[in-house]
Amino acid sequence: MATAAVPKVHKNFINGEWIESRSAGTIENRNPADTSQLVGMFPSSSNEDVNLAVDAAAEAYKKWRLVPAPKRAEILYRAAETLVKRKEDLAKDMTREMGKPLSETRGDVQEAIDMTYYMAGEGRRLFGQTTPSELPNKFAMSVRQPLGVVGMITPWNFPMAIPSWKLMPALVSGDTVVIKPAQDTPLSTYNLVQILSEAGLPAGVVNIVSGAGSVAGAPLVAHPNVAAVSFTGSTETGRLVSLACAASFKPCHLEMGGKNIIIVMDDANLDLALDGAVWGGFGTTGQRCTATSRIAVHHSVYKEFLDRFTERAKALKVGDGLDPDTDMGPVINETQLQTVLKYIQIGKDEGARLVTGGRRIESGPYSRGFFVEPAIFADASAKMRIAREEIFGPVVTLIPFRSFEEAIEIANGVSYGLSASIYTRDANRAFTAMRDIETGIVYVNAPTIGAEIQLPFGGTKNTGNGHREAGTAAIEFYTEWKTLYVDYSDRLQRAQIDTGGFGRVSD
């Protein structure tokens, strides 16, 4: 007689070994599409676990920083090769713990593959500058230096892609790491670190402590031997991270919320704009910091766009992400589901018109999951809370406008500044929008989601604090500059003072 498989009990990864948490507490990782499925048990780490992990990373840093960057990169390259081979299994693990459709989790793993290959290439491109000195017989240059131990706190919506954005540039730069994955989706980060270890990463270079942010994340941020912190999550938590780091002048990189907009002009290709709106609004169940949560539509095409968008949303199949026919999976947990339902009620109370969706789906196979119908609000004002506050769920708000200038004003009228999009055939409007929209990312004739790893990713205002992930911009955070001067004149030369009379060069 067949019996159910015993769920795997995971441990922290510290100094190259899987070890029990000192707290002995555990956290259940359950499938949000069917909470009867226990994906695994993970440690509920304590301050003591964080201390052990930071100590291991600090010790490993002494040798890791001296490994030539091309050799560090070879480890990343081997890890990327393994990620390619295991992509399907890794994607299925991710769907079970996070809920998004398998097509999307394959993309999440692919993003980790792309980032790992890309940063492996940077191992031979950690360029500095050489520049002429103002003095004779003097050489001037700059080089990049690693920071030390970096603390990383990652979110649940991209549980392998975002850890890879942080881990790979830090590792190729010569930093060591303690990473705390989101407690809802730790398995994908565990899988990624396991592959790095198999690829030859030395013990202590990357360490994992799992658990709640208040118990494991806070002491990691505050630890005196953590040189820098990279955080992706809510703006509210990011503010706490920033304040904790400020006390010791610790650099921190923050990637936080978004309230992203698609602008649909009167000359837009509506078929294309609708494709972008459906994917941007309901892809990943709207649980992306770049999700399209509001759409400003020119009044002359507003009714047609609304009718067709509503029809498309109604046709989406909500269900288990492992079902190949599923278009949209569950939200991550009960708390997030209640947040989404709360905002749907707020939208109704504010006077926006709910044209479709917005109800929890609880019947039959949905009874054990966190499912909600994709929701569309119409005829909203840009000042409504549903048009200004991040919901992080499958809720899209439509706002009519009459002029291009009004659309730009709507786009910029929120506290966030991550991603924006405009659909238009007018090149002048497109370039003006790219210039005037106050976001870190602007798309033309594409949705607000779909960033590629070779370019900087990040936002303005309450979305970020000036740093960027991905591309070579990521290296800027994980390294610091050191300027070097070599004077081979065999005499004292004083910059800014002994700069005249260059006839002395041959003295």
Structure tokens at 317: 């199949």
- At 7 the pLDDT is 55
Domains of the chain: 44-126+145-256+464-477 (3.40.605.10), 260-444 (3.40.309.10)
Full-model pTM = 0.94
Catalytic residue among 111, 255, 373, 390: 255
Burial 452-468 (b: 16+ CB within 10 A, else e): ebeebbbbbbbbbbebb
Burial label, 234 (beta-carbon count in 10 A; 0-12, 13-18, 19+): middle
- At 23 the pLDDT is 87
- At 460 the pLDDT is 96
Active-site residue, 245 included: no
- At 499 the pLDDT is 77
| Regions of the chain with pLDDT less than 50 | 1-6, 503-507
Length, in residues, of the chain: 507
Catalytic residue among 252, 289, 390, 469: 289
% pLDDT > 70, the chain: 97
Could you tell me the sign of the dihedral formed by the alpha carbons of 342, 154, 212, 83, in that order? positive
SS3 state of residue 294: strand
Residue pair 180/216 in contact (Cβ under 8 Å)? The answer is yes
- At 302 the pLDDT is 98
CA distance 496 to 314: 71
CA distance 357 to 373: 5
Helix, strand, coil in percent for the chain, rounding step 5: 40, 25, 40
Quick count: other Cβ atoms within 10 Å of Cβ 57? 29
Look-up of token digits 């999976």: 329
